[in-house]
Structure 1
Amino acid sequence: MILQASRVILLVLLVILLQSAPSDSLSSLKRVPIQKMVATTTTAPSSVEDVDRIVTNVAAKAEEWKAVPVDKKVELLQQILKNTIREHDTWCALAQESRGVHPTDPRHGCARADIIVTGPAMFGSYLNGLISTLQHCSKHDGVPPPPRSVRKIEGIHKSVATLWPRTFLDYTESVGLKGELVLDDETPEQFSLEETCIGGVAGILGAGNIDAPTDILCQMFLKGRVCVFKPNPVNEKQHTVVAGKILEPLIRAGYLAYVCGGNDVGAALVKDSRMDEIVLTGSMSTYEAIKPLVKDIERTPICAELGGVNPWIVVPGKAWNARSIDQHARHLAFSRMSNNGHTCVGPQVVLVAKDWPWRREFFGRVRFWLGQHAGSPPFYPGSDKTHSYFSTVPKAEVIIDGEDAFDKQQRPILISNVLVTTDEENQKDTNSVLTREAFCPVLAEVPIDYTIGSNDATKYDSMAYLRSAIQYTERNCFGSLSANILIPDEEVQKHSKELDRIICEMPFGIVGVNLFPGFAYSLPMLIWGAPPGQPQSGIGFLGNAHGYKHPQKAVLRAPFQWLGRRALCIMSPQKTEKVMVRLGKYKMSPGLFTQLKLFAALFLGI
């Protein structure tokens, strides 16, 4: 009844508001040649000699940038946000051209939505989060915002700080979702902004799968460093507008510079002894290739954001029914298919109890929703070979429901009943589904040998099962970036303290509870990266805008029947694009009007 009443109220408000609202379409992009949109660019090809000169120029500005007052940095962030709002259509158009996405083809709506989410929407969210944080620091002598609440974790000398939501709009957006940090101390301690802004020079090797350069924002506005950024060749075209228009105030002032080119340019940047930190987003092979190039790893640490085989763990309970099965299966399929699976945080294996009564129904709905996704282009180099490989593994099904929307489209692959295979001599798992990151639309069912013993879920020890599943991932799955736990609210409430402890001890840097962990990337007060002591998915982290001294991992908690999950599920290409266009505008310009328009698209389809 409450939801129905809310829909009526929204409908009345929005019919009035939307009469005069500008269209969400990108029609202007259809008429303006891309070449005319981008007037200037700072992403011309660089030589090795250029790198030395550029680093010299940027390094000379390090002390000046470190000394820039917080108020001035807030003004710069606000200008960058204005530039993002002004140029986001151009940014998306360049990404469409780069990825091979048609600007108007209805079948390409999901692909256009991916571009919005991984570019302007994510960047706008991060910018607004940093602006809010630095404004608070400016008003409180450099002291960052305090946590909303803190709870101690008994027996393991850790605490959990709840950081998000903070504002009224956050609360109306989150509808029960919480963002937390696990801290390695019982009483949270925070650095001042002056203490975290240590200064120096950072060399950044950008990601190719997302366009939002949040790593630049972290290094410059949280660590006080000047930066030399090398975009990935995969999305170099998009950075003509990001560098030439959006980040222009930083580049014009000399605090940020771009270098472009191949491996030789990247190697020259990494090897430069003036670097105080190297930041990279990529694969383990990229990280291993870069490490020997750093002359002094103690002086120049590497912050590496890598991927892995990310598990989702399904915890049985009485609340599971046909409706919740469908909702979570739809959300899981969306999380795997987003960005054509070219996401380091995407789910790859789904752990379930072998004798869970809903097991067959759950994966039947997963299969259905994977097949309903319209598809996105396979734009990441090498993913075609990986996709082809996984299509041939035992029990793999390539799901083909309908015609391809893209050339060489990578259809989702669902692999059933994956078992551990062991090299007896070395006692190591050799099943590639568990040890090789797919980075494309591949999802595997992994049944856990844990006996429920009865169809009556009340006789079932959910925490014992969860511990068993986590131990399985530790033994058999490669990676330490993210995990998600699908668990009914009654189990969370019944075992709240034990669940807290289990999450704190999980060997993953971002943990979701009933939610795709990728959302954490858009919240600068959380952290992103592998946890300390678990280097399979990298070392170091991005974020921590509130300056906690001992952050361990980020946690996102959503209710089992979370209303916001409606935005993160498989929909038609037309509705997906409408919702994500509205989401992008809300994240760039958060306000009641943009939020109402987002809700109207999501719940009313208008």
Structure 2
Amino acid sequence: MTPDTLPLERREEIDAALAAVAKGARTWTLLTLGQRRTLLRRVRASVAAVAAEWADAAATTKGLHAGHPLRGEEWLSGPYAALVALDAYARSLGALAAGGSPLDAVTFGRAPGDRTVVHTSPLDLTDRILLSGYSTEVWLRPGVTPGQARRTAGLGQLTPTTTGGIGVVLGAGNVSAIPFLDVLYELLAHNRTVVLKVNPTQDELIPVFARALAPLIEPGFLRIVRGGGDVGAYLTRHPSIAHVHITGSEATFRAIVPDLRVPISAELGGVSPIIVVPGEWSAADLRFQAEHVVTMRLHNSGHNCIAGQVVLLSADWPQRDDFLRELRAAYDRSPQREVWYPRSERALDAARADYPDALWCGDGTRALVVTDPEGATPLETTEYFSPVLGVVSLPGGGQAFLDAAVAHANERLVGTLGANVLIAPETQRTLGAGFERAIAELRYGTVAVNAWTAFGFLTPTATWGAFPGGTVEDAPSGIGVVHNALLLDDVERTVVRGPFRPFPRSIRTALRGGGLSVLPKPPWFVTSRTGAVVSEGFTRFRIDRDLARMALVLARAFRA
């Protein structure tokens, strides 16, 4: 269907939604920063009230029955993500309302290429306890100074009486927090009231969203509509809108832009590399990092824009074959689950056609492709959005391998959303400044070192989006950023840093200058036996700050 054939009653429904948020846009400009902060606290209470229903509904739509070990994914990528974002935005509004800056509590650093680094997490004791060993930093564009960053932090909230008009958000269908977070960013970064079109895969979550976001819906700051491409087309071509934001596929983006008369921002995914820098790894290191790689691919059954897809290994690494054996074993033993996203079977069929010699692991729905660079083109240019993991070997070791892998990722892989680098701290110390220079050379919006880039997605004070430079004509992975609860301007990328080894092995690493983690295995690992209960516990602690109950949850984490 086209917008011209949309039934009259649907057009009237959408027109009414647009009229309501147009009125709401005027109301929004009358709220003080303190009132906006109070409003976010009301939304937080609404999210807390529906958190269990939210996680359950999201898990059920994906075929994760009660008791399934991976249901924790829906706690972390749903209500948990919403709660931490609301808290972070509220802190920024509070700082601005008091005449300060959202950056008053942060520290700055330097990165290669005359870049200012904003250390964006951890910023409080809760993050240091729950997420020990993990940090995020935002690198600003070359030449931007800390003083400039402080002056411009706040974006739309620096001019709160200026309306940004009406924004249309075309919600993602794979992760339930994405549309929620995109609505918040439109409202707070740009002073735009929003009509949110929910992806049909999330229709069953609309009642949950309606209750969670009721404090924004009541005064007309938000309306939620359902529908397919015809509704999206009607919205994006409507004369009353000022902006469109989409999280989705490049094909959908390409269908929208020819008739678009307003600016657009977008997050479009891509093919994400996992660069494994050779070093001397123990048997435990090989097993843990293999599970880490498998998590990057199998989380949400592979239906993530940031899923790791291409592992770049050194052909000269003496432990290459050992790592591949652990990778295959981890791919096999991860819990079984449905490949649930629409048209995923087509993607798997394409992988079968592209790589008839692929290993099909687990229940036969997980492809593991080991190939040389000459045979890697389909892997590196097709975002399968399904459980397809490739391994490509490049020559060299040390800095030479890392530089070659960075160049390969930049030049051969489609997209610029996120890249992952796994490196033993001993090797990183040996490389020294050369390692940071290589990180600076990666042209990706989020780079994760000994972590998965999804940690950057989950951290509200980090930024999320493609590497700068995307245009309507050429937008690898999209245009602009979201999340960004410190409301930073002039952003280039986020860098996530995590622990190479879990507890207790992280103690020895920390004594030698590496990162310390108290987590024996992160709850988001697909191989975590207690991931569901720990992820729920983390979310409930964000709600009620019950330290006694959190202590019990952390005890469960040690049995992961």
Matched, 1:210 2:146: no
CA distance in 2, matches of 1:207, 1:281: 5
Matched, 1:230 2:197: yes
Gaps (5+ residues) in structure 2?
1-7, 503-516
Higher mean Cα deviation, 359-368 or 388-397? 388-397
Are the aligned partners of 1:122 and 1:587 in contact in 2 as well (CA < 8 Å)?
no
* Structure 1 residue 238, shift from structure 2 partner: 0.7
CA distance in 2, matches of 1:229, 1:61: 14
CA distance in 2, matches of 1:351, 1:196: 46
SS in 1 for 2:487: coil
Counterpart of 2:493, as a letter, is K
CA 1:77 to 1:255, structure 2 compared with 1: closer, same or farther past 3 Å? same
Are the aligned partners of 2:22 and 2:166 in contact in 1 as well (CA < 8 Å)?
yes
Are the aligned partners of 1:334 and 1:569 in contact in 2 as well (CA < 8 Å)?
yes
Match of 1:362 in 2: 323
Match of 1:14 in 2: none
CA distance in 2, matches of 1:270, 1:381: 23
CA distance in 2, matches of 1:115, 1:418: 36
One of 527, 537, 540 as aligned partner of 2:477:
537
Instruction: Extract structure 1 runs of 4+ deviating beyond 6 A.
Output: none
One of 167, 186, 191 as aligned partner of 1:219:
186
Matches within 5 A, 1:472-487: 472-487=408-423
Match of 1:120 in 2: 79
Matches within 5 A, 1:325-340: 325-340=286-301
* Structure 1 residue 481, shift from structure 2 partner: 0.5
Matches within 5 A, 1:327-476: 327-392=288-353, 393-400=355-362, 411-421=365-375, 431-448=377-394, 450-452=395-397, 462-476=398-412
Matches within 5 A, 1:123-134: 123-134=82-93
Matches within 5 A, 1:190-339: 190=150, 191-193=152-154, 194-195=157-158, 199=163, 200-212=165-177, 213-243=180-210, 245-295=211-261, 300-318=262-280, 320-339=281-300
Counterpart of 2:138, as a letter, is L
CA 1:260 to 1:102, structure 2 compared with 1: closer, same or farther past 3 Å? same
Are the aligned partners of 1:147 and 1:163 in contact in 2 as well (CA < 8 Å)?
no
CA 1:282 to 1:143, structure 2 compared with 1: closer, same or farther past 3 Å? same
Match of 1:151 in 2: 109
One of 23, 26, 43 as aligned partner of 1:60:
23
Are the aligned partners of 2:115 and 2:140 in contact in 1 as well (CA < 8 Å)?
yes
Match of 1:524 in 2: 460
Matched, 1:582 2:549: no
SS in 1 for 2:410: helix
CA distance in 2, matches of 1:278, 1:234: 20
* Structure 1 residue 501, shift from structure 2 partner: 2.8
Counterpart of 1:413, as a letter, is A
Match of 2:120 in 1: 163
* Structure 1 residue 60, shift from structure 2 partner: 2.0
One of 164, 187, 212 as aligned partner of 2:145:
187
CA distance in 2, matches of 1:97, 1:569: 20
Give the alignment's Cα RMSD to 1 decimal: 2.1
Gaps (5+ residues) in structure 1?
1-44, 405-409, 422-429, 453-461
CA distance in 1, matches of 2:378, 2:84: 36
Match of 2:14 in 1: 51
Are the aligned partners of 1:579 and 1:601 in contact in 2 as well (CA < 8 Å)?
yes
One of 119, 125, 130 as aligned partner of 1:173:
130
CA distance in 1, matches of 2:433, 2:485: 27
Are the aligned partners of 2:39 and 2:215 in contact in 1 as well (CA < 8 Å)?
yes
CA distance in 2, matches of 1:350, 1:470: 12
Are the aligned partners of 1:420 and 1:476 in contact in 2 as well (CA < 8 Å)?
no
Counterpart of 1:73, as a letter, is R
* Structure 1 residue 604, shift from structure 2 partner: 4.2
Higher mean Cα deviation, 191-200 or 521-530? 191-200
TM-score, normalised via structure 1 length: 0.82
Matched, 1:505 2:438: no
CA 1:142 to 1:260, structure 2 compared with 1: closer, same or farther past 3 Å? farther
CA distance in 2, matches of 1:72, 1:336: 42
TM-score, normalised via structure 2 length: 0.88
Counterpart of 2:32, as a letter, is P
Aligned length: 522
CA distance in 2, matches of 1:527, 1:113: 24
CA 1:196 to 1:545, structure 2 compared with 1: closer, same or farther past 3 Å? farther
Match of 2:53 in 1: 90
* Structure 1 residue 439, shift from structure 2 partner: 0.7
Counterpart of 2:466, as a letter, is A
